[in-house]
Structure 1
């Protein structure tokens, strides 16, 4: 009677089959999801009492565990379905607006061009700045004139910034071509008269008291203002060698000739001409000769000092041997 009362009060206990209702009824038909869900609550042996006898029963047989298991099953299935659906859908890329594209280009240009241009009276600084601007515009493949002008003036500061404000008050910058901008820029910071002056400086450039390194740096800097004189390697090398000091210039050609002196008469002039056409080789030879000349001058100076001290002592000794006054 006590047993029937206990059953009426607590209700019939669910069996292992009740827990399995949330999965396939046929164990052979279990799919991967059912297997995963079935293992969400691992079996655990917990002692309970039945008919005053302690017996092991797996957790999950109660109605609460059954509901929890079914809830977890639904959540996992919904998650798997959502992930599968999102994986099948292509990624939608939001197209940038023209303003966003322009801002992106300006930021990239700002990182590539850390140097500011403040104006000033030195035309070389202005020309160097414009060369850097055009190099970066080419590397970024910027072709729109208005955007090129925006980028070229983005790094203006001080005097250059004030000048550009005056320009924008006189011209419609939105309709201005990039060539017109360059014309105005060079008219302000690199007038044609100054360019002609630098061309003359390159035409008359000689080494003088400069070292080979100093001469080569100035040669390279000024050569861009006289492109017709350095249009190819041979002309550039010839101009460089012609400006070297009289002490070094003949030796440059002589060293080239010495390299090929063992060749026959038919090949020697051709090989020598080819060597002289290489600008980098001419600079290298000039540096070697300069170092060699410095070493020779140092040795000659030491010899003079020794010789200046030597004859006086030898002369005194000779006089003493001849009986003359010491």
Structure 2
């Protein structure tokens, strides 16, 4: 395991990805809270190190939990305002002109900020279907999927089918109407 150092950023998502990546490593290594805090602070460099040194004056380092560390970290790099904005963006997310793959990426990223949806399989499924472009939504509903994974796969198939239909209409597909002989 080779966790990345964190030197600070103005991009909140980079900060969130860093925390999530070291969370995975720490869980795999079965580190206790105190060890997580020590390792996490060790990985801070540059501006992030300076920010931590200032912030650490306000906390008891001997009793600081990993959740406490993340709270201090988030107050600087992933503020409540940013999380609130990302939650609002997710709640109004629509596929629009995005490909299904791009929409899935945005949906899964945004789902992280709304645990009420992310942690309820039926609500996640319903929300995803409602946000799809109507032509794909119809195909997905007709298939009657019961899991999020099946909905994503069915959406990808529906998108591919739609591309083929459009290609056929334009005379570029394999199923062109035969020319009538006179």
Correspondence 1:142-291 to 2 at 5 A: 142-145=31-34, 147-254=35-142, 256=143, 272=144, 276-291=145-160
Contact 2:136–2:159, Cα closer than 8 Å, also in 1 = yes
* Number of equivalent positions: 172
Query: Cα–Cα, structure 1 residues 244 and 144, in superposed 2: closer, same or farther, change >3 Å?
Result: closer
- Alignment partner, residue 117 of structure 1: 6
The unaligned stretches of length 5 or more in structure 2 are: 173-182
State the Cα RMSD in Å.
1.8
1:236, CA displacement in angstroms?
A: 1.2
Asked if 1:138 corresponds to 2:138, the answer is no
Question: Quick one: distance in 2 between partners of 1:150 and 1:113?
Answer: 16
Mean Cα deviation higher: 208-217 or 123-132: 123-132
Answer whether contact 1:233 1:277 (CA < 8 A) is retained.
no
Give, in whole Å, the separation in 1 of the partners of 2:95 and 2:33: 44
Which 5+ residue runs of structure 1 have no aligned equivalent? 1-111, 257-271, 304-326
Shift of 1:152: 1.0
Q: What TM-score results when the alignment is normalised by the length of structure 1?
A: 0.50
1:110-160 CA-partner distances (Å, limit 9, x unpaired): xx2332222212111111111222222222122142x22111122222221
Contact in 2 for aligned 1:113/1:133 (Cα 8 Å): no
1:296 paired with 2:165, answer yes
Tell me which of the two structures has the higher relative contact order, counting C-alpha pairs closer than 8 angstroms and 6 or more residues apart.
Answer: 2
Distance in structure 2 (CA, Å) of the matches to 1:179 and 1:244? 36
Match of 2:16 among 82, 106, 127: 127
Q: Bigger radius of gyration, 1 or 2?
A: 1
- Correspondence for 1:12: none
Q: How does 1:21-60 map to 2 (within 5 A)?
A: none
Maintained 8 Å contact 1:238/1:277:
no
In structure 1, distance between residues paired with 2:52 and 2:78:
15
Instruction: Give the TM-score normalised by structure 2.
Output: 0.86
